[in-house]
Structure 1
Amino acid sequence: MEYKKTAFHCEAGVATITMDCPENLNAIDVDMAKELLERLYQCDRSSEVKVVVLKGGVRAFSAGGDIRYLYDNIQRGVVESSELVVLVGKLALVMKQLNKLVICAVSGSAAGAGANLALSGDFVVCSENARFIQAFVGIALVPDTGGPYLLSRSIGAQRALEMCITGRPVPAEEALRLGLVHEICPREELEERTMALARKLAAGPLFAYTNIKKQVYGAAFHDYDRYLHQVEETTMNSCADTHDYREGVRAFVEKRSPQFNGT
């Protein structure tokens, strides 16, 4: 595979996967999702990799979906493919099933699929300027990348519903208070604090870590695959075929308020 949107570095057992597409704030499109999946598979197969760090840019971990791309498709009358929904669901599942611990380092905005990708990490370290946004509702879509599933299990169904319905930004301090992130720090310390945690984990009892992760996955995520295929893919595809979705995307790009009509 030719990698155009991600970078990779491994040192002292810590593999760092960097989303490196600043022109669209690391939007998670089909190509980005495929690259991330292949990077994770490589880490899982490598005996040199002990811990995985996933990070984005300073301004944004990831802005989520590429709205301009969606807008251009709508203007051309192209019906959205379900390929991306399947891929981001697979990405969320692989992060939980990976035999290596995954740390997500979040600076700036983590929106839409980007927010749920970040929350899929086993540990989340974020800077004080981080914001987690379930932005899907703004364009009349439902969350993907396992968002409602992850949130319901970490903060409860009612809070998860509120966060997804309102699409409001959740700042770093609130995310820490809710237990969504492991720690927060000044932006200039994010790299150092993340690597300190990664090195500590890399020096620990890795076989035990792998099996503890399997235990937690078995206890809390035993039906994750079913949810992604039977609930997330179905509801997302239904919403992507509506007037409100097309209106939401057009309004976002055209910088106006959307006129939803419930269809």
Structure 2
Amino acid sequence: MITRSTRMTIKDGVAEIVLCQPERGNPFDVQFNRELCDLASETNESPETRAILIRAEGKYFSVGADLKWLGRDRAAMPRLLKEATATLHMAIARFVRGNAPVVVAVHGLCTGGAVALTAMSDFAIAGQSARFYAAYNRIGFVADGAGTHFIPRRVGSRRATEFLLLNETWDADLAAKNGLVNRVVPDDQLEAEARALARQLASGPTFTYGEMKRLLATYTDLPMETQLELEAQAIARCARTDDCWNAIQSMLARKPIEYVGH
């Protein structure tokens, strides 16, 4: 019997994804990556999902790559890595391109690909126990999971280079100071804080969030004129939504705004 690496529940608009192999340290392996990709696809297509919360059970958030799995067969390792990154990378792309904002709640050790997952998220909250360990070049790897895309965007290119090439470990406070996470809370408040933020996001204009996320994903890559046109196209699409029209009418009538997500 194969034990699942993850589980997901959807309640009050929040899809809560839990890394649930604490006895193994919640490693990133082929099974985990496939499950994460499936869940990313499911949340993309679920009209119930208006925000996503990712958290983990156990002592660690994630120890990163499963070295026992990687170390079994030297000749097969390149192929295994291509298979594993195919689903991991698709999961990251679908979380980033989807409408639902992603909140990650990190406690304990967060290593390698889990740091990239943290950087990918729209909001990251760290418990005081969190430690972010680059890890990649310790075993001769480069970053994956869009780590080279999102870590420099969050912390700046100089700090990202130090973190990755010098194989640094940042505690929660340093991660917040450098911009990898939004804020630090006591460990016993981490789940409550993350869920509150996810619920707040789930009550907002979900389609608009998606348009804003996609604009923020391209701002460093495109000429200003191209970004301006993308903004114009996106704001016009937002103008077609019920949320936009109802929000404007509610403000004119001085009534509370209620968003339905489309």
- Specify the TM-score bucket, using the shorter chain as the normaliser: 0.7 to 0.9
8 Å CA contact retained: 1:111, 1:135: yes
1:170 equivalenced with 2:170 (yes/no): yes
- The CA deviation at 1:148 is 1.9
Equivalences for residues 213-232 of structure 1 within 5 A: 213-220=213-220
Match of 1:21? 21
Per-residue CA shift, 1:152-182, capped at 9, x if unaligned? 2222222111110111111110111111111
Per-residue CA shift, 1:178-205, capped at 9, x if unaligned? 1111121111111100011111111122
- Structure 1 runs of 4+ off > 4 angstroms? none
Amino acid at match of 1:204: G
8 Å CA contact retained: 1:73, 1:80: no
Match of 2:94? 94
Larger radius of gyration: 2
Equivalences for residues 202-241 of structure 1 within 5 A: 202-220=202-220
- 2:10 is paired with a residue whose SS is strand
Query: Structure 1's 221 and 51: CA in aligned 2 closer, same or farther, altered over 3 A?
Result: farther
8 Å CA contact retained: 1:58, 1:107: no
8 Å CA contact retained: 2:25, 2:58: no
Alpha-carbon distance in structure 2 between the residues aligned to 1:200 and 1:158: 34
- The CA deviation at 1:20 is 0.9
Equivalences for residues 190-205 of structure 1 within 5 A: 190-205=190-205
- The CA deviation at 1:10 is 1.2
- The CA deviation at 1:221 is 6.0
Match of 1:108? 108
- The CA deviation at 1:71 is 1.8
1:184 equivalenced with 2:166 (yes/no): no
Structure 2 residues not aligned, in runs of 5+: 223-262
Query: Structure 1's 176 and 79: CA in aligned 2 closer, same or farther, altered over 3 A?
Result: closer
Query: Structure 1's 11 and 158: CA in aligned 2 closer, same or farther, altered over 3 A?
Result: same
Query: Structure 1's 220 and 4: CA in aligned 2 closer, same or farther, altered over 3 A?
Result: same
- 2:73 is paired with a residue whose SS is helix
Equivalences for residues 1-263 of structure 1 within 5 A: 4-74=4-74, 77-81=75-79, 82-220=82-220
Amino acid at match of 1:85: T
What is the TM-score normalised by the length of structure 1?
0.78
Q: What is the number of residues matched between the two proteins?
A: 220
8 Å CA contact retained: 2:6, 2:35: yes
Query: Structure 1's 213 and 79: CA in aligned 2 closer, same or farther, altered over 3 A?
Result: closer
Report the aligned-residue RMSD. Answer: 1.9
- The CA deviation at 1:86 is 2.6
